[in-house]
């Protein structure tokens, strides 16, 4: 096994080495959106020069566009571990989730139930609440406040033979908790419910295998895993064929095209292919013996997970010694395989916005607020106080950047003493 070559990784991302008014920026805003490799930028502009056309035309650039769309589907199929025709593209995860909830709503009866969780981003909550207009009943699963892990007993209590859909996050974008999705799927399937997984936060942090999870749907967003602004959805073929999408009548009615409304973001798909190429190359660098793209992608994501675990340890250990810091989520390093390196915290006497602004002035980019994980910030009692400060790390971040953050927080504390 080769080592994780952080210098090579960073050299792929031009944004990481830019000078922003005297500072080299530290991007700890990854859960809001990641930076992209140069190859992604090049692929997007190359598409616009050489292939820019609508699909299904009888001329060269349109044929290239058709090939590009098919090739993007193949790349994502390898990323998620599914078949090409189980991959759907859309504007972003939220739009895809609304499209699917609306389609599922067509077959619901009043009194049918949908289970959502308080750990989730509202992109996997509001589309299901929208179905209350057809008489669906939405049940909300709680989490353990002490470590922000899902309350599985509560989930079991909420499931019944009336449950039609369970909407669950793979990982929480505010505090990093990774849910045991395979277990949730088993429990949901046991009562005959379908499972819709929001993997937007998880996707840059570990391998995804939709067959092993046995989930029915799984959505993610390329701009959270080093790509452009394109939404991606996996659906089991049988469901994609059976459910009725809202679509324009002349558009193809075959799977997967029937789920793709309007013209796709072709240059975004060109960038998405290059993103997956980048991850494949990373996989081949960390594990020389991989035989195919899928295995290389799994190797890349497993190596990223190991490296990120080390980052989590350094970050959480460092934050724990800073006076006034309250950390939310899993802090016991023995359980770090159940979290991403995304940390939610508060600093006594300052709003998350004020801290994010002071860090921003020092070139350290973090996020503040509820990150649309409103159920979580309300339950933690921080929503009325400005939410949380979120420090979100990725495989392109470094120990040195963590140390800069810790020093900056010490300085902010000292300035207010
Ligand atoms: C966990 C999670 N789910 C869903 C979303 C929404 O994704 P999109 O912007 O692709 O709609 C986000 C965005 O921050 C997220 O973090």
Domains and CATH numbers, the chain: 7-35+304-412 (3.90.1150.10), 42-276 (3.40.640.10)
The CB of 346 under 6 Å from ligand 1? The reply is no
* 321-354 exposure pattern, b = at least 16 Cβ within 10 A, e = fewer: ebeebebbbbbeeeebebbbbbbbbbbeebbbeb
* 237-261 exposure pattern, b = at least 16 Cβ within 10 A, e = fewer: eebbeebebebeeeeeeebbebbbe
Q: Report yes or no: 126 and 158 within 8 Å, Cβ to Cβ.
A: no
Q: Report yes or no: 341 and 176 within 8 Å, Cβ to Cβ.
A: yes
Alpha-carbon span 308 to 328, nearest angstrom: 18
The CB of 29 under 6 Å from ligand 1? The reply is no
Alpha-carbon span 27 to 243, nearest angstrom: 41
Comparing CA positions, the residue from 169, 177, 113 lying closest to residue 145 is 177
Comparing CA positions, the residue from 223, 225, 220 lying closest to residue 235 is 220
* 5-23 exposure pattern, b = at least 16 Cβ within 10 A, e = fewer: eeeebeebbeebeeeeeee
Q: Report yes or no: 163 and 191 within 8 Å, Cβ to Cβ.
A: yes
Q: Rounded to the nearest whole angstrom, what is the distance from the C-alpha of residue 32 to the centroid of ligand 1?
A: 8
Q: Rounded to the nearest whole angstrom, what is the distance from the C-alpha of residue 155 to the centroid of ligand 1?
A: 23
Q: What angle do CA 240, 224, 412 make, to 5 degrees?
A: 150
What is the best residue among 91, 95, 221 to mutate for testing ligand 1's pocket, by most ligand atoms within 8 Å of CB? 221
Alpha-carbon span 79 to 210, nearest angstrom: 10
Q: Report yes or no: 351 and 368 within 8 Å, Cβ to Cβ.
A: yes
Strand arrangement of the beta sheet that strand 231-235 belongs to? 87-90, 231-235, 217-221, 194-198, 163-169, 113-117, 137-141
The CB of 200 under 6 Å from ligand 1? The reply is yes
Residue nearest to atom 14 of ligand 1 (CA): 32
Q: Report yes or no: 210 and 82 within 8 Å, Cβ to Cβ.
A: yes
Q: Report yes or no: 101 and 130 within 8 Å, Cβ to Cβ.
A: yes
The CB of 158 under 6 Å from ligand 1? The reply is no
Which tokens in the block code for residue 215?
């989930």
Q: Rounded to the nearest whole angstrom, what is the distance from the C-alpha of residue 124 to the centroid of ligand 1?
A: 9
The CB of 376 under 6 Å from ligand 1? The reply is no
Alpha-carbon span 265 to 250, nearest angstrom: 20
Q: What is the pTM of this model?
A: 0.98
The CB of 215 under 6 Å from ligand 1? The reply is no
Q: Rounded to the nearest whole angstrom, what is the distance from the C-alpha of residue 89 to the centroid of ligand 1?
A: 15
Q: Rounded to the nearest whole angstrom, what is the distance from the C-alpha of residue 30 to the centroid of ligand 1?
A: 12
- pLDDT tens, the chain, 417 aa long: 567 999 999 999 999 999 998 889 999 999 999 999 999 999 999 999 999 999 999 999 999 999 999 999 999 999 999 999 999 999 999 999 999 999 999 999 999 999 999 999 999 999 999 999 999 999 999 999 999 999 999 999 999 999 999 999 999 999 999 999 999 999 999 999 999 999 999 999 999 999 999 999 999 999 999 999 999 999 999 999 999 999 999 999 999 999 999 999 999 999 999 999 999 999 999 998 899 999 999 999 999 999 999 999 999 999 999 999 999 999 999 999 999 999 999 999 999 999 999 999 999 999 999 999 999 999 999 999 999 999 999 999 999 999 999 999 999 998 877
Other Cβ atoms within 10 Å of 56 Cβ, number: 12
Q: Could you identify the atom of ligand 1 that is nearest to the CA of residue 221?
A: 10
Q: Report yes or no: 172 and 201 within 8 Å, Cβ to Cβ.
A: yes
Q: Rounded to the nearest whole angstrom, what is the distance from the C-alpha of residue 268 to the centroid of ligand 1?
A: 17
Comparing CA positions, the residue from 246, 286, 243, 284 lying closest to residue 104 is 243
Comparing CA positions, the residue from 153, 150, 167 lying closest to residue 113 is 167
Q: Report yes or no: 220 and 199 within 8 Å, Cβ to Cβ.
A: yes
Q: Rounded to the nearest whole angstrom, what is the distance from the C-alpha of residue 120 to the centroid of ligand 1?
A: 10
Q: Is 219 helix (H, G, I), strand (E, B) or coil?
A: strand
φ and ψ at residue 396, rounded to 5 degrees: -95, 0
Which tokens in the block code for residue 391?
């420090």
Which tokens in the block code for residue 37?
């490799």
Q: Rounded to the nearest whole angstrom, what is the distance from the C-alpha of residue 123 to the centroid of ligand 1?
A: 6
Q: Report yes or no: 38 and 274 within 8 Å, Cβ to Cβ.
A: no
Per-residue model confidence (pLDDT) at position 415:
87
The CB of 398 under 6 Å from ligand 1? The reply is no
The CB of 329 under 6 Å from ligand 1? The reply is no
Q: Rounded to the nearest whole angstrom, what is the distance from the C-alpha of residue 231 to the centroid of ligand 1?
A: 9
Alpha-carbon span 410 to 406, nearest angstrom: 6
Per-residue model confidence (pLDDT) at position 416:
79
């Amino acid at each position: 096994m080769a080592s994780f070559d952080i210098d090579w990784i960073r050299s792929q991302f031009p944004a990481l080495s830019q000078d922003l008014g005297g500072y080299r920026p530290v991007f700890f805003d990854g859960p809001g959106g990641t930076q992209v490799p140069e190859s992604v930028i090049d692929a997007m502009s190359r598409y616009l020069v050489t292939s820019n056309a609508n699909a299904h035309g009888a001329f060269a650039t349109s044929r290239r566009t058709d090939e590009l769309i098919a090739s993007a589907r193949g790349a994502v199929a390898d990323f998620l571990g599914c078949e090409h025709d189980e991959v759907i593209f859309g504007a972003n995860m939220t739009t895809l989730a609304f499209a699917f909830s609306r389609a599922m709503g067509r077959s619901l009866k009043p009194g049918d139930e949908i289970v959502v969780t308080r750990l989730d981003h509202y992109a996997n909550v509001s589309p299901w609440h929208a179905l209350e207009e057809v008489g669906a009943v939405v049940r909300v699963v709680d989490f353990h406040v002490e470590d922000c892990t899902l309350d599985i007993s509560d989930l079991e209590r909420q499931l019944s033979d009336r449950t039609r859909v369970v909407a669950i996050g793979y990982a929480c974008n505010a505090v990093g908790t990774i849910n045991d999705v395979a277990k949730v799927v088993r429990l949901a399937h046991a009562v005959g419910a379908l499972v819709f997984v929001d993997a937007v936060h998880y996707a840059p942090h570990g391998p995804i295998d939709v067959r092993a999870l046995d989930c029915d749907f799984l959505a993610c967003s390329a701009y959270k895993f080093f790509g452009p602004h394109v939404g991606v959805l996996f659906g089991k073929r049988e469901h994609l064929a059976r459910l009725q999408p809202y679509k324009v009548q002349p558009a193809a009615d075959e799977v997967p095209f029937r789920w793709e409304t309007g013209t796709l973001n072709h240059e975004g798909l060109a960038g998405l292919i290059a993103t997956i190429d980048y991850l494949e190359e990373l996989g081949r660098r960390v594990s020389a013996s991989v035989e195919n793209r899928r295995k290389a992608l799994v190797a890349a994501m497993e190596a990223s997970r190991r490296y990120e675990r080390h980052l989590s340890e350094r970050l959480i250990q460092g934050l724990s010694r800073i006076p006034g810091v309250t950390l939310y989520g899993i802090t016991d390093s023995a359980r770090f395989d159940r979290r991403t390196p995304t940390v939610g915290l508060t600093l006594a006497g300052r709003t998350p916005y004020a801290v994010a602004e002071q860090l921003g002035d020092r070139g350290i980019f973090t996020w503040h607020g509820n990150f649309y994980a409103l159920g979580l910030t309300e339950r933690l009692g921080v929503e009325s106080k400005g939410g949380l400060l979120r420090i979100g790390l990725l495989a392109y971040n470094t120990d040195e950047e963590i140390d800069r953050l810790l020093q900056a927080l010490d300085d902010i504390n000292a300035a207010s003493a």
